[in-house]
Each structure stands twice: as C-alpha cells, then as structure tokens.
Structure 1
Amino acid sequence: MIEKKFLKSKPICKVKFSLPKSQVQAAKTVTVVGDFNNWDISATPLKKQKTGNFAATIDLDIHKEYQFRYVLDGKEWINDEEADRFVPANIGSEQNGLLSI
C-alpha cells in the first residue's frame, strides 16, 4: 500500500510504503529501494508493525517520478501492486513500480 501526503509548507510529499504480512510471507527484513536511495538495499528498511505488516515513510520531492521495488531478506525483489504504473527494469522481463509525485 502506498499513501501520499503532500505538504503545504514545502515542495515535499511524505510517502508511506507498506506491505501486508500476507505479501512478505516469512521475510525477516523488508526494504524499499529505488531512484530516491540509489537502489541501496540497506538504505530504507521498513519496520515490522504489531500487525505483522512492514512500513516506512520517506520524504520525496514533488513534480518527479521515482522507480522503486521492495527487497525481502536482501534477495527477493517484488513490486507494489499499487504503483502508479510499471516500467521495464532493463533486467530481462522484470518491471519496476513507478510513483508520480
């Protein structure tokens, strides 16, 4: 799930990335990677919630598009079905989610 909250005082959007327990299965770690953190799998970890879901909120500049994916346990890459759209990842037939802010 993706939630966008645009700030009135700054050209920033607070974006909350979250994955339900059912989608992460038995993963112990979940991170979100993308253009905004140079695809660094350790830069933006999602925190496990009491419900078993994982979530993190980051600030992104408005009027931009960002490619992103989630990484489970440092090795399994998955997409968020709620991405604004999908674009080729230039790795085989893989696709990245795209956020329009």
Structure 2
Amino acid sequence: MLERTRSKNAIEITFVLPADHPCGDVSVVGDFNDWQPGAHPLAVRKDGTRAVTVSIPAERRVHFRYLAHGDYWFDEESADGHDGQNSYLRT
C-alpha cells in the first residue's frame, strides 16, 4: 500500500507492508536512492504494519521495488504502473 502527501515541491510517499509478509527485513529500493539495498528499510509502526517514507520531487516518474531477506524482490500492487521489471509512481 502507498500513502501520498503532497507539498509544494515534493511528494512524500509512505511505502507500507503488513507486519509479517514477507517475513524478515524489507527495504524499498529505486532510482530515488540509486537502487541501494538497505537505504530505506521499512520499520514497524504502532499499528503493526511496516513502513518507510521517502520524499520525492514533484513532477517525476520514479521506479522502485521491494527487497526482502534472501534476495527476494517484489513489486507494489498499488503502484501507478509496472514496466515489466519495476513498479513506478508518477509524482
């Protein structure tokens, strides 16, 4: 699930996953963090879900995927689209 908050020059995207699926550590990687695993790890929230918020400049299209323990890559179903390799968002 994605949560979006708009400001004048940027959009804050909160990437949200259930607490237990997939198990283990998960990070979101994309062109906004040079595809660096672990740069944006999801942390447990009070409601039990895991999340991380990333600020992205407005008027951009960004590509991303999730990376879980064991080199398990997966996409976000609620992204704006999928290009065959990655999920993407339009900001």
TM-score (norm. length: structure 2):
0.90
Contact 2:32 2:62 in 1 (8 A): yes
Deviates more, 1:45-54 or 1:61-70: 45-54
User: Gapped runs of 5+ residues in structure 2?
Assistant: none
Q: Which position in structure 2 is the counterpart of 1:92?
A: none
Structure 1 residues 33-72: aligned runs within 5 Å: 33-72=29-68
Q: Which position in structure 1 is the counterpart of 2:90?
A: 100
Please give the secondary structure, in 2, of the residue aligned with 1:55. strand
Counterpart Cα distance in 1 of 2:49 and 2:40: 16
Residue of structure 2 aligned with 1:73, choices 63, 69, 76: 69
CA offset digits 1:17-49 (Å, max 9, x no partner)? 01113532xx22110000000110111111023
Q: Which position in structure 2 is the counterpart of 1:16?
A: 14
CA offset digits 1:45-90 (Å, max 9, x no partner)? 11023444210111100100000000111510011100100003xx
Q: Which amino acid in 1 is paired with 2:13? A: V
Counterpart Cα distance in 2 of 1:49 and 1:6: 21
Equivalent residues, number: 91
Counterpart Cα distance in 2 of 1:82 and 1:18: 11
Mark the structure with the bigger radius of gyration. 1
Q: Which amino acid in 2 is paired with 1:4? A: R
Deviates more, 1:47-56 or 1:75-84: 47-56
Counterpart Cα distance in 2 of 1:72 and 1:39: 14
User: Gapped runs of 5+ residues in structure 1?
Assistant: 89-94
Please give the secondary structure, in 1, of the residue aligned with 2:83. strand
- The percent of aligned pairs where both chains have the same amino acid is 35
